[in-house]
Amino acid sequence: MAVEESSKRIEEAKKLSKDQPSKAEGVYKDILSKPPGSNDRAVRDFENALMSLGELYRDQKRTQDLADLITQTRDVLTSFARAKTAKLVRQLLDLFTSIPNTLETQISTTKSCIDWAVKQRQGFLRQNLEVRLVGLYMQKQAYYDALTLINNLLKELKRLDDKLVLVEVQLLESRVYHALGNVPKGRAALTSARTSAASVYCPPLLQAGLDMQSGQLHAEDSDFNTAFSYFIEAMEGYHSQDNPARATSALQYMLLCKIMLNSKDDVDQLMTSKNALKYAGKNLDAMKAVARAHSNRSLEEYEASLHNFRFELGSDRFIASHLRRLYDSMLEQNLIKVIEPFSRVEISHVAEMVGLDTAQVERKLSQMILDRVIIGVLDQGSGVLEIFEEVGKDEGFGAAVEAIGMLGGVVDGLYANQAGLLE
């Protein structure tokens, strides 16, 4: 009878959660204050009340209350089956993800749960929480903390031969090395992850993650055609698993590849595709603006796009990195086009022609001279760039060196003959 009453109270509390959240919270807390016992129905009600209270805190963005709920109720969960306990703890921690600016709270709560799992000797739960913590460290950009944790996990997982978790950790390792700029180690970790994935069933989301990382590493080598094919696979994987955020990112990367390849027609075709229409939004509008500016070879339009969509284009490290390369390439091409008719030109005039600050243009020109893209000198005293014509190699010098070499051989031969006669 009491069990049926608890079920009814939970249903009533769910109805009250929007209009009278304080009353609903009181009902949930009252149910959670009593031990669930061993009855299956009572355990289900306790689980339902726990998750409903967590969702209530999430909807009201009460971060600290949600963290306290996890730490206070996990001891009660020890009376449940281990698999159910692990599932509930993970689900409660997942509620943080939809609350903004909770990264530090997530890290501290996850660490606390890891310590608790160690005390309870729940190895499987501890491993899952440590994998989660690596992801949180990556969001915080604490890459060296993430690597330390990854190295410990890899040793343990290789010993236990837990292939699925091993694939996930190796993928995280590849992402960390990529973020640190160590592409060779990132590629090695990804190869290990793919090798491990070949011997076990890989869930679609994890497979999409492997494809996404493969595409990013190929793009770092400027192999944008191969990268594009991997991003297609990743987008289809995320789309099939109803993950719009990651699917949109994959679509952005596909557009980025076509922009880097200077394929305007392919960009237009992608923007009118079925998937682009489904995931339409500011992220895709940002890529469309960049593609238009790049197609028009307009630095002013390009900078306006970066400014207008600074959050959409700047929040993703991969996109931001490649857009910087694209900007440098466009600036270089524009400068070469402007200075081509001149042998001596004022830097201020060049800056005016490309619509940029004089100091910025001067820095770029000096870099181009050092890289031998242009042959000339900067006269900073008079603010002038002097350009020299590239002198072709004089074939006479090569012939002279060859003749001197042959004469040297003749002299050596004569010397050897005379030395033989003297003996």
Give the tens place of pLDDT for each residue, 208-262: 999 999 999 999 998 999 999 999 999 999 999 888 889 999 999 999 999 988 8
H/E segment holding residue 376 = strand 376-379
Q: In what order do the strands lie in the sheet with 376-379?
A: 344-346, 384-387, 376-379
User: 3-state class of 61 per DSSP?
Assistant: coil
Segments of the chain scoring below 70 in pLDDT: 1-5, 16, 37-38, 390-394, 420-423
H/E segment holding residue 378 = strand 376-379
Phi, psi of 396 (to 5 degrees): -65, -35
From the list 172, 68, 144, 46, the residue with the least C-alpha distance to 112 is: 68
pLDDT of the residue at 394: 64
CB-based burial label for 36 (10 Å; 0-12, 13-18, 19+): buried
Residue 314's contacts (CB-CB under 8 Å, 6 or more residues apart) are 306, 320
pLDDT of the residue at 1: 40
CA distance 182 to 180: 6
DSSP 374: S
Distance of CA 72 to the CA centre of its chain: 35
Phi, psi of 279 (to 5 degrees): -100, 25
Strand partners, 345: 385
pLDDT of the residue at 149: 92
